[in-house]
Structure 1
């Protein structure tokens, strides 16, 4: 992340690919921010000039193209300016619309009814005007992380399927050879279930804590609460008990995080949806058994090689944790699937090919 910041502070090279995420994104970084940073790193290794867009200094018309990460109104405003100046726009939407999540995370019946009603209306009339539909229309190429995500955008917003270029999420190959000793030396020996991510209701940490407790399984939670969700994190801690160890968030490049993946027996991410969950991909490559939500595009990535549990079903979470624990580490077929299909170097090459389609290098 520091390398990205340094590049944005230096002078802009004419013809650079300009990357953008909402201005608040890196205040509580997650998978989308890692996707941006890792894509940038590997595009540079391919010889491309890549730069996080600096609104204080950069001029869009001096860039080769604008690549937006995440759907936001801020991105829409920037896309409007880019297109008015003849600059191509690529969009990695990084989104999923899950009705069960809308109901569970609304925070009240009235809000849930409103959100579900809006979803149903959008599903019935995909050409209904809206800022997301406009943003998709302004983008020359839309780069969902899965076929399922692209199909959902077409169903809900009338996205022209000819714009879709599926670009999966990725992992670094070094995760596969990580040493478990540093994590064990610092936090103690023994096997455990691991969660690594943001602590918020969408990630369903509370039900994970409850499921692990029901099975008597030790759990390590690596992450910090998302701003505004501190009470939720406190509740998770209160219910965690002595079998849960809480570890502050680690940077995606921290060797200790890779060591944690190597030390864990099971990785669990029973979220309300995932697209598909970068930490789960890394854990799979490291050899963990994986428990994950079926909502989102997870089945497209993990197939029948993961253990699935619906987020609102505590019994399913507990049962999946137990089965994954009994299966143990060394899930070589899953690790090989991830290594063969989802390395960041492969992701970057496919991304560069899309750039060449919509903004050929002069």
Structure 2
């Protein structure tokens, strides 16, 4: 079997959770199934005649995803879509930063996305037909058109499918198979350690990850907070606000790091906190859980599907809620039940098996 992976053009220059998902899915499928070969290509007009199917990622960027789907269908190829989907008007109107939040409060969701598309087209180098389609047809309609063309959806949780049905209202019945988010459990596993002495937050520095409210929540707390990550050039004002809010407090920023260095921080942390405006559920939270950290997670997204009652939940818009959840997590014993469950069920091996199960369903 030959499969082509297609996704956003800046997959490796602006890395995110989808970068890890794509690279690791490919690695573990090819490791477990030597008869399957996978290529990664972001060219929307590539010849796909040599592939059995095209696996596309990320419904949140329909301006590119639509081009991949149209190209595959023009060449009569079956298509799989890993949705990586969530929609949060609450975040856009409350959690965004600066001028963008002010504008978002005046217009609807599709209006926000049209403005973003215009910016990308004229100022950020995305002058292609997909961006023009988004501007002309609208964000939601373009996403709905994609759903009506692809053959199989691979969401990370049932919550994604529920949201897709309720918000996008596709015109045909949804065929899907849940493929859970995953981690390299063997790399991050750690036996319980008695000397964990800090709170850790790993992730890109951006309004959706909500580090600014987290910093505010640590004013007056007796714990040390370490923020590990980096800010994209478009988020420099947010990063500056973060540094200003820190002042001389008990908060430290460390640069983004590779897994071997990151696991040392996980092993020092009693708590990992990700108070995002939404997450599905955040790969770093899974890594931290299997490393033995107590988990503070957002109430938004698919976090409860993964962590159930084994995490401490916070409201992203409430500094007091974040502070309370961190205190409860730090004062509680480690949760070995969560650690074992994540290590057993949310691994790249399991994700590879589910993905290939979807391929086989589709190809018969």
CA distance in 2 between counterparts of 1:259 and 1:203 reads: 22
What displacement does 1:213 show? 2.5
Match of residue 234 from structure 2: 228
* Aligned partner of residue 59 in structure 1, secondary structure: coil
Match of residue 76 from structure 1: 66
* Aligned partner of residue 27 in structure 1, secondary structure: coil
5+ residue gaps, structure 1, are: 1-14, 120-127, 182-188
Q: 2:159 aligns with which of 136, 142, 148?
A: 148
Matched, 1:39 2:25: yes
Deviations 1:92-119 (A, max 9, x none): 1112112321212452444224235879
Q: 1:300 aligns with which of 276, 286, 305?
A: 305
Deviations 1:320-357 (A, max 9, x none): 111111014x3101112212221110110010010112
5+ residue gaps, structure 2, are: 113-138
Match of residue 115 from structure 1: 108
Q: 2:143 aligns with which of 113, 116, 132?
A: 132
Contact 1:195–1:220 (8 Å) recurs in 2: yes
Match of residue 250 from structure 1: 257
Matched, 1:164 2:176: yes
Match of residue 87 from structure 1: 77
Alignment of 1:173-252 (within 5 A): 173-178=185-190, 191-240=197-246, 241-251=248-258
Moved more, 211-220 or 311-320: 211-220
Give the TM-score, by structure 2 length: 0.84
> How many equivalent pairs are there?
328
Contact 2:197–2:268 (8 Å) recurs in 1: yes
What displacement does 1:281 show? 0.7
Contact 1:103–1:115 (8 Å) recurs in 2: no
Contact 1:180–1:261 (8 Å) recurs in 2: no
- TM-aligned CA distance change 1:112 to 1:57, over 3 Å: closer
Contact 1:70–1:91 (8 Å) recurs in 2: yes
CA distance in 1 between counterparts of 2:191 and 2:343 reads: 18
Give the TM-score, by structure 1 length: 0.85
CA distance in 2 between counterparts of 1:284 and 1:136 reads: 33
Q: 2:340 aligns with which of 327, 336, 342?
A: 336
4+ long deviations beyond 6 Å: none
Contact 1:175–1:285 (8 Å) recurs in 2: no
